[in-house]
A and B are shown apart, each in its own frame.
Chain A
Amino acid sequence: MMQQDQLKSKPQAIKGSRLWLFALLFFLLLVVVGLNLSYGSVKIPLGDILKVLTGQEGVKESWAYIIQNYRLPKIATAILAGIALSASGLQMQTMFRNPLADPFILGINSGASLGVALAIMGASLAGGLFVPALNAAGGLGLILAASIGAGLVMGLILLVGKRVNNPTSLLILGLMFGHATSALVSLLIYFSAPEKVKAYNIWSYGAFSGVTWEQLHLFFPVILVALGILFFLPKGLNGLLLGEDYAKTMGLNVDRLRLLILLSASILSGTVTAFCGPIGFIGVAVPHIARNIFKTSNHKLLIPAVILIGAVVAVTADLIAQLPGSQFVLPINVITSLFGAPFVLWIVLKRKRGAASFNV
């Protein structure tokens, strides 16, 4: 009942007091992007950074290169990945009405991991495939391998999603697929040379800095299309949150809705995993942060909210991972979990209503 009231009150809320929250978040995004651009392993004065950005001459050549070809694509990747994972996580949490759901709950990243593991370590079985695999499709080999893996799982999920009318079956499918793939990956690791195992491990740490401008030409449009699907779904997601029966009484085609959600969420998370490796935590944490800041479960608000917050969180995590001032760098997953877990814990404990938005 409470939620129905909440939903009904939303239209006014959007126009009203929450607008400034969006403005604040956008400003915050600009700040962390600015910080990420100016602080890195290499110390570059702010004046020189501005010169590069405005296309002026007279900056040390390697610095200009670092800004143009390293920091800018890295920030763009972080923003896109943060948005995609958060949006995907929100959809999964709503569809399964489970606060613990994340973008990878359907086994999308297990598929991607298996694809990459086969590309890197399958060489031990098939005889020197690794470099050819990397070389395939003009340096997109690993991305291709991950996409194929994620795509196969996605196809399987959509197929099952069409047949079953119970989301729990999908959850179990994802879980089982995760177990099966991790067993296969373990088997590959067991029979592989240490340096290949290390290459796979590094991939599994996740990173935004491995994505180049050329790869962004592919990354960006795919994310955009999948996000585009999401923008047609807020009404349906709101309906699902109240239960499938309720959604049906609202006149929603629940089966079609579920397929669209699966499609959008799988493309979003699968693409990020393909380009950046499995990035944990953002997808599960950001929707919670959004619900708490905006104190709503209305997806008309939540979708833009997770998009902004996701971008802020990802760029901030990357900023910390670069260990500004030192020449070393930490894996992004370490940062998201290490800093993110206590933060979300604090938010959840602070919130009085607990997981009310899930009807639990």
Chain B
Amino acid sequence: MKKILTFLVTLVILLLPACNTLSVLPDAPQAVTYPVTNPTQSDSAEELPITDPEEEQVSIDYAKNFTLDYKDGYKLLTVSVPWMGATESMVYALVPEGFDSTIDLEGVTVIQTPIDSIVSLSSTYLPFLEQIGELESLVAVDTADYIYNEEVRHWASSGMIAQVGSGPSVDVEKMIELNPDLIMTSATGMAEYDTHPVLEQAGLPVVINSDYLEQDPLGRAEWGKFIAAFFEKEAQADQLFDEMVQRYEAAKALTSTITDKANVFINTPYEGTWYMAGSESYAAILLRDAGAHYLWDDLEGTSAWPVDFEAVVDRAKEAEFWVNVGFANSLSDLTAIDSRTADFKAFQEGKVYNNNARVSDMGGTDYYESGVANPDVVLLDLIKIFYPELAGEHEFFYYQQLGE
């Protein structure tokens, strides 16, 4: 008897998920589909039609992880790499109000534009909202603790916008009550950390933004267009972006002729291990564009490698510059982490710089916030560190020189 019971219970358990998917599907946002031709098949024939002839087509030139395609009367945003190692892309159809045709693309999330309200679950989206004058569309953030933007922090502390947390325990009830037009979040692909599955389950409009995977500083800044597209303001974002690119390229050109490059290393030791960023990482690319020689540019890829303290001594003890030193606000913070840091030449000559000139009380660092939208300013800061004579009148914005 017991065996038969167990078998029956197992059977029911096995069948349950199948029933679930069937019953849940009609409610899921993906299921809102409209009959329209598949974009990949009809690319050759479809160069011409855009609904609004005055609307400029914005191109994506630096970002590798998303594309923007103009279709017949609507836009298609494709996040090709929604998280590291993702095998499938996320596709969002941005349909303007009054769009009367139908789209039948499978697995496409349809968002009605322009949106009026947005929930931002990462502080990196805020500078882009500010750029296009949509910061006031913000109705909630994940937490204000790590946000630098003073206005947003004020709104959060005075209760004008909500704080909803993130991850699977995100405040779904609050979000349903707020009923935002869009929730933007990053994702890891692991259900135990991700926010979007629970939100999608609740039928909320979620969009995944993977700006942090973009290593080219200009590519990362180009995600401003991604955000702007939902407000139908990508043309404005495009113009701001182009101007920024020109400033970035001009700054980069300042150091292009330098042959005797400044040697620089980054980060701090921790319990004898020193994490060094790979040569294709955001930080390494900025150092390269600033005309410096990053001493670990032989490390492959974008992630950080655990390097032995003694290997760092061997290579960097006589290096002239030391930047991006984690939490440190002063040289004594560094000796507190490891007293041996005081024996590096860069320390002794006081040429240690950190990107935490602008930090909120709780530790929100503007370098990681508005710095994402303004890599040209970051680059000029770095150039001023390595080659002050080339930086002209530029004043430090994100960086500061560490004192005693």
Contact = CB atoms under 8 A, between A and B. Distances in A.
Nearest to B305: A328
Given A42-B314, A193-B146, A199 B308 contact: no
A131 B310 contact: no
Contacts of A42: 308, 310-311, 313-314
Bin chain B's interface residue count. 20 to 34
A329 B336 contact: no
B74 interface: no
B371 to A, nearest CB: 15
B151 interface: no
Interface in B307-324: 307-311, 313-314, 317-318
A70 B307 contact: no
A3 interface: no
B308 A322 contact: yes
B272 A40 contact: no
Contacts of A202: 270-271, 273
B272 A74 contact: yes
Contacts of B106: none
A254 to B, nearest CB: 40
Interface string A190-234: 000101000100110111111110100000000000000000000
Given A41-B311, A66-B314, A71-B310, A207 B305 contact: no
In terms of DSSP, what is the predominant structure of the interface of chain B? Answer: mixed
A63 to B, nearest CB: 8
B362 interface: yes
Contact of B333 (A41, A131, A138, A208): A131
A123 B362 CA distance: 8
B306 interface: yes
Given A193-B146, A203-B271, A328 B333 contact: no
B327 interface: yes
Contact of A65 (B273, B338, B343): B343
B73 interface: no
B21 interface: no
B400 interface: no
Given A69-B343, A127-B361, A41 B310 contact: yes
A70 B337 contact: no
Contacts of B313: 42, 62, 65-66, 70
Contact of A131 (B269, B308, B336, B338): B336
Interface string B281-325: 000000000000000000000000111111101100110000000
Given A127-B362, A134-B337, A328 B307 contact: yes
Given A69-B343, A131-B336, A327-B308, A207 B327 contact: no
A217 to B, nearest CB: 12
Interface string B262-282: 000000011111000000000
Nearest to A203: B271
A127 B311 CA distance: 35
A314 to B, nearest CB: 14
Given A62-B313, A66-B310, A71-B310, A329 B273 contact: yes
A296 B332 CA distance: 52
Given A131-B336, A134-B333, A207 B272 contact: yes
Contacts of B308: 40-42, 209, 322-323, 327-329
Nearest to A135: B336
A78 to B, nearest CB: 11
A290 B264 CA distance: 49
A74 B310 CA distance: 11
B388 interface: no
A124 interface: yes
Given A131-B327, A208-B272, A62 B340 contact: no
Nearest to B339: A212
Nearest to A276: B271
Contacts of A69: 340, 343
A155 interface: no
A63 B326 CA distance: 27
B329 interface: yes
Interface string B351-376: 00000000001110000000000000
A127 to B, nearest CB: 6
B271 A210 contact: yes
Contact of B270 (A65, A74, A199, A208): A199
Nearest to B312: A327
Given A130-B327, A202-B273, A210-B272, A327 B339 contact: no
Contacts of B314: 41-42, 62-63, 66
Contacts of B343: 65, 69
Given A40-B308, A65-B313, A71-B310, 12 more contacts: A42-B308, A61-B317, A63-B314, A70-B310, A141-B336, A202-B273, A207-B271, A207-B273, A327-B308, A328-B307, A329-B273, A329-B308
7 contacts: A41-B311, A62-B318, A135-B336, A210-B272, A276-B271, A322-B308, A327-B307
Please list the 5 inter-chain residue pairs (A to B) with the smallest Cβ-Cβ separation, ordered nearest first. Answer: A209-B272, A210-B271, A327-B311, A207-B271, A41-B308
Interface of A: 40-42, 61-63, 65-66, 69-71, 74, 123-124, 127-128, 130-131, 134-135, 138-139, 141, 193, 195, 199, 202-203, 205-212, 214, 276-277, 322-323, 327-330
Interface of B: 145-146, 269-273, 305-311, 313-314, 317-318, 326-329, 332-333, 335-340, 343, 361-363
